[in-house]
Structure 1
Amino acid sequence: MSDKPEVLFVCVHNAGRSQMAAALLHHHAAGRVVVRSAGSAPADTVNPAVVAAMAELDLDLSHEFPKPLTDDAVRAADVVITMGCGDACPVYPGKRYLNWELADPAGRDVEHVRPIRDEIDRRVTALLAELVPGHA
């Protein structure tokens, strides 16, 4: 059993929002949080505009790939953050669920992905301050 909080980010395709959120939390947490992401209907690849927007922050998503949502991933998480996956995410008693309403970066160019990335970064920073007080 880990003493680190575990966070799971879920969106439909695991190709945009959840990938950005996972990379940003992983970066900011610097090992203090276990971070995963998944999709209820994973795409084949991560959105290229998302990869480009994250590269601007020196975060490399070029080797990441969309992963399927599993019951095990949800069970392992202390906090499950959904981003437009609707009812596709399994709900377990005792888990903390948050739903972040965010624009979908699918089909958008990097210029339109930046504001989504920046909003996710703001929310991730606030979540980290909550999960690991005094260390954010």
Structure 2
Amino acid sequence: MTAPMVLFVCVHNAGRSQMAAAFLQHLAGDRVDVRSAGSEPAETINPAAVAVMAEAGIDITTGAPKLLTTDAVRAADVVITMGCGDACPIFPGKRYEERELDDPATLDLEGVRRVRDEIRERVEGLIASLEG
């Protein structure tokens, strides 16, 4: 059986979607194929996201923001959007979830930690739903 592919999407692919993808990869390993992208990708990953993920023992410095493509959505089994509005194409038969989360770019470090912790909790729930 092939691993399900999960795509996390946010506007800049510099904070929320990077953290979610890293948590899913860390917690699920090769049981899930993980991708992330943004509708308007930033130049680099948000330094505050890098810092709070390092506090959780996860290094996201090797990642880079990527542009959301129709092919990436088409290839995904699960598409989780995090505030990207209508930028994500919809294909029948895919599982879509919208996650309302504050944008780390607008928060202080404590706020980014809260977003990180909420993302981790939601990723743990996602793993349970994929395995159940």
TM-score, length-scaled by structure 2: 0.97
Q: Give the corresponding residue for 1:14.
A: 13
Rounded to whole Å, the distance in 2 between the matches of 1:88 and 1:63 is: 26
Q: Give the corresponding residue for 1:114.
A: 113
Q: Give the corresponding residue for 1:58.
A: 57
Rounded to whole Å, the distance in 1 between the matches of 2:117 and 2:74 is: 29
3-state SS in 2 of match to 1:106? helix
Query: Greater helix percent: which structure?
Result: 2
Deviation at 1:106, TM superposition (A): 0.6
Rounded to whole Å, the distance in 1 between the matches of 2:34 and 2:108 is: 26
* Unmatched tracts of structure 1, length 5 or more: none
> Does 2:122 correspond to 1:123?
yes
Q: Which moved more, 1:103-112 or 1:70-79?
A: 103-112
Count, aligned residues: 132
Q: Alpha carbon RMSD of aligned pairs, Å? A: 1.0
Rounded to whole Å, the distance in 1 between the matches of 2:45 and 2:37 is: 12
- What fraction of aligned residue pairs are identical, expressed as a percent? 66
3-state SS in 1 of match to 2:96? strand
Deviation at 1:57, TM superposition (A): 1.1
Q: Give the corresponding residue for 1:75.
A: 74
Q: Give the corresponding residue for 2:35.
A: 36
Which 4+ stretches in 1 moved above 4 angstroms? none
Rounded to whole Å, the distance in 2 between the matches of 1:107 and 1:125 is: 25
Rounded to whole Å, the distance in 2 between the matches of 1:10 and 1:108 is: 19
3-state SS in 1 of match to 2:31? coil
Rounded to whole Å, the distance in 2 between the matches of 1:82 and 1:95 is: 13
Q: Give the corresponding residue for 1:25.
A: 24
Q: 1:65-90 deviations in whole A, cap 9, x for unaligned?
A: 10000111101100000000000001
Partner amino acid, structure 2, of 1:86:
G
